[in-house]
Amino acid sequence: MSDVDDTDAQGPDGPADLPGRLNGPPTGSDQPEQRRVAIPTGRELVARIPLLGLLLERTEAAGLALDGVYLVGGAVRDAILAGDGLPTPVFDLDLAVEGAASETFAELLAAAIGGEVIAEHRFGTATVLAVLVQGAPPVRIDVAACRTETYAEPGALPEVTLGATIAEDLARRDFTANAVAVALAADADGNHLVVDPYNGMIDIFTRLLRGIHDQTFHDDPTRIMRLARYSGRLRFPVEPATRELAVEAVAAGAIQTISADRMRQELELILEEAAWDPLTLLAAWGVLDTLDARLEESFRLPFLVMRIDEATAGDVDLSRRVWKMRLGALTIGLGDDVIGWLRWLGFPGDVIAEVDGHVRLLRFVRDQGDDLLTLANSDLYLELGEVVDDSFALAALAEDEQPRFARLDAYRIALRDTALTLRGEDVMAAGIAGGPEVGRILGTLFLRALDGELPTPEAERAALGELVAQSKAGGSDEADAGTSAP
Ligand code: ATP
């Protein structure tokens, strides 16, 4: 094992500590009150990730050698960010294994820690799932062989060569903050080597997102989406040259080279973030305009955007649930083209239906203005049909005027509470032979019930009697109301 001191892992010129940022800008080294933040050692980083500690205990007990195995990516970044004494809430671990035998290592790891290999993917990667804390959800451990990647053209899948060193593997990563690795094997003193060829630790401390090289967005334009996502989530500004490269890549058409499938995945991840900020960045860099200029209409809804953020308020679980509401807010400018756009990106049918429902309600409420107050529940039903609760929640967040908000809520409650006691059999028993006329009569009854005109089963029956009589007498306007019971 290497005897490199962890604090030297910054590279020969890297400082061992940095001016503290939390207490304002640096004031000069002659100022005794200035606080300095020590760069954590590998041992300290490992101690900040309790799940990793458990994994190491089990591999040690099982005698599994960990030479050439490194923790990389988000877990390391978040552990550096966490600061002293704050365990990092990590659930996923990304391991990079030097040499090409990552699948063999995944099997050995699973056996050592009492987990299982749930997936072996192409290109030397495998996923191990293991319960490390009794009663807690399993930890997902992605194991990948260190590799080099070359890109034939922008947006294309890379040419992958396995069997690389950790330094080579870090060279293919997106941002310096994601390109820090910690060796799982400890040296004789219990230290863990930190490999940080791009001074990612310093960028994390100074809160900057920086690309690893000038071709980064050219090679893989999805990194533009990742840049926005991390900048929004971590609240790290983008380093100016990196921002310039991203904007140039967008202007040169990089976004158009991303497949619909990857774009959907990236958009979904962005919408699951706890705030709207990544979308603001994508708008500023010209990405939304490239996708469809009408998407920028959502930025005329600052109240809505702010309130969705407030409603989710950093609650990641909640924002996972409401990502479709965000997608509705994003696509409001697309109007009738929402369905086509979401289909083009390959969203599943149920998601498309829900988001389209959000957009239709938002637009309807906005277009109606105060006329909304004069509409009966049955008018709203004929216009909007069934409306899911999240659509109401979204429209309520968008609605500023108390009376309109109250009107929408009354409709929500009426929809929730209205159910006819009569069924198709009852309509036929009352003298209708069957077929579409049964549905039309039930639909008319439902509209009346929504408007509160049929508060009891008796009232329903009386109304049924009238409608059957009208139908037999040659049809009625009401029975042709154009809806059928839900
Ligand atoms: P989080 O899970 O918190 O979003 P993460 O960094 O673990 O962060 P992943 O998407 O799981 O995110 O990626 C793991 C690591 O793989 C990243 O930290 C980065 O080093 C690398 N990586 C992922 N996608 C890319 C990409 N498109 N280009 C370059 N490197 C990437």
In the chain, domain spans: 6-206, 228-417, 424-480
User: Which of 3.30.460.10, 3.40.47.10, 3.40.50.300, 3.20.20.70 would CATH assign to domain 6-206?
Assistant: 3.30.460.10
d(CA 200, CA 197): 8
- Pseudo-torsion of CA 308, 309, 313, 317, nearest 10°? 70
Residue nearest ligand 1's atom 2 by CA:
74
Instruction: Give the whole-angstrom CA distance, residue 146 versus residue 144.
Output: 6
In sequence order, the 6+-apart residues with CB closer than 8 A to the CB of 158 are 149, 150, 151, 172, 219, 220
**Four-residue CA torsion sign, 221, 119, 343, 284:** negative
Q: Structure tokens of 9?
A: 């892992």
Give the whole-angstrom CA distance, residue 69 versus residue 96: 6
Ligand 1 centroid, distance to 256 Cα (angstroms): 22
The pocket around ligand 1, CB under 6 angstroms, is made up of 73-74, 92, 94, 173-174, 178-179, 220, 222-223, 226
Return the closest-CA partner of residue 454 out of 467, 470, 472.
467
DSSP characters for 284-321?
Answer: HTTHHHHH-GGGGGGGG-HHHHHHHHHHHTT-HHHHHH
Closest residue by CA, ligand 1 atom 18: 73
**Which homologous superfamily does the CATH classification assign to the domain defined by 228-417?**
cca-adding enzyme, domain 2 (1.10.3090.10)
Phi, psi angles (nearest 5°) of residue 48: -80, -5
Outline where 63-215 has alpha helix (H).
74-82, 102-113, 166-170, 200-205
Query: pLDDT tens per residue, the chain (486 residues)?
Result: 333 333 333 333 333 333 333 333 333 444 444 555 678 899 999 998 989 999 999 999 999 999 999 999 999 999 998 875 555 566 789 999 998 777 889 999 999 999 999 877 777 889 999 999 888 889 999 999 999 998 888 777 888 899 999 999 999 999 999 999 999 999 999 999 999 999 999 999 999 999 999 999 999 999 999 999 999 989 999 999 999 999 999 999 999 999 999 999 999 999 988 788 899 999 999 999 999 999 988 887 777 777 777 777 756 666 666 788 889 989 999 988 999 999 999 999 999 999 999 999 988 988 888 898 999 999 999 988 888 888 888 888 777 777 888 888 899 899 999 999 999 999 999 989 888 999 999 999 999 999 999 999 999 999 999 999 998 887 544 444 445 555
